Amino acid sequence: QTKKSRNAARSRRGKENFEFFELAKMLPLPGAITSQLDKASVIRLTISYLHMRTFASQGDPPWSPLLEGDNNCSKVRRSSHSLATDMFEQHLGAHLLQSLDGFVFVVSQEGRFLYISETVSIYLGLSQVELTGSSVFDYIHPADHVEMAERLGIRPHLRAEAGCHTAPESASSSASTSSLAGTPEPAPSSPHASADDPTERGFFIRMKSTLTKRGLHVKSSGYKVIHVTGRIRCRPALVPGSTHSVRRPMGLVALAHTLPPSTLNEVRMESHMFVFRVNMDLQVTYCENR
C-alpha cells in the first residue's frame, strides 16, 4: 500500500511538472529562460501575460498586433529590398527598445508590472522576469510610494492593499517631488476619468538598482533617480442605468530615463573646498580629513 501511494504521488508530480513545463513554453520568453523558471514564477508570469493581453485589447485605442496572413500582405514576388524591410519590421520593437535611452514599462491600476522591457537590466541591473507581475512599490523608495500611488490614481483606502506605505515622510516627499515634476495630479477619489482629465504623466521617483559604480567596486546607495514620462491608458465603460460613457483607467504606460549621477571629476576642486557624501536621509557617510 505504501509503495502504491509513493508511485501515485510520483506520477502526480510528474504530470504536474509536465503541465508547468508546457505552460512555461507558451510564455513569450526565450526557451533558455522559461526552462529555468520555478512554478511560482511560471504562474506569476502567466497571470501578467493574460492581464497584459486584456490591457492591450480593451484599452482605447486597442493595440492590435499585425497577424500573419493579413489581407494587407502583398502576394506579389518581393524584391530583396522589401524582404530586408520585412525582416527589419519583424524586429522593430527590439530595435526601438535598444535605441531608447531608458526602458519601457506598463503598470496596472493595482500597481503591478504587467510588462517591462528587458533593457531595464542595463539601467537598474534588475531582470525582466523578476519584475514582471511584481508590485511596483517593492522596487521604489518608500518615501516615493504616495507619489506613485497618486500618479496611478489609486484611491487612498486601496493603497495599503497595493503595497503602498503611506508614512508621513512619504507625503512630504511626494509633495516636493510633485512640485518638481510640475504635472497635474490625477483625482484619486474617483475610479473614472472625465474627458477633461489629462492622462499625461511626468514625475520623478527613486527605483532600486543593483548596479555597481565603475572603478569603485562598491555598490551605490541602492536607488537611482528615474524620470518617468507616459500616459494613463483608459477603456470606455458605460455607467450603470445610463447611456453615458466614461473612461475607466487601466494603468500607466511609461518610458523611464535614469538620471546620471553627478561625478566629482567634473568639478574643479579649489584649495578651500572639501568633499563629503550623504545618503538619501542626508546623513553624512563620508567626509575628507581636511
Note the pLDDT tens digit of each residue in 124-142.
Answer: 999 999 999 999 999 999 9
**225 within domain boundaries:** yes
67 or 249, which is more confident? 249
Give the confidence band of 227 by pLDDT, cuts at 50, 70, 90.
Answer: very high
**63 within domain boundaries:** no
Return the ∠ at Cα 160 (arms to 162 and 126), rounded to 5°: 45
Domain range for 259: 107-155+197-263
75 or 263, which is more confident? 263
CATH of the domain at 147: 3.30.450.20
79 or 276, which is more confident? 276
Give mean pLDDT, residues 131-157: 89
Q: How far apart are CA 53 and CA 21, in angstroms?
A: 21
Lowest mean pLDDT among 7-11, 37-41, 98-102: 98-102
Lowest mean pLDDT among 35-49, 173-187, 207-221: 173-187
**181 within domain boundaries:** no
Give mean pLDDT, residues 77-94: 62
Domains in the chain, number:
1
Give the confidence band of 3 by pLDDT, cuts at 50, 70, 90.
Answer: confident
**282 within domain boundaries:** no
**67 within domain boundaries:** no
Give the three-class secondary structure for 194.
Answer: coil
For the question of whether the overall pTM of this predicted structure is more than 0.85, the answer is: no
Return the ∠ at Cα 222 (arms to 218 and 228), rounded to 5°: 135
**70 within domain boundaries:** no
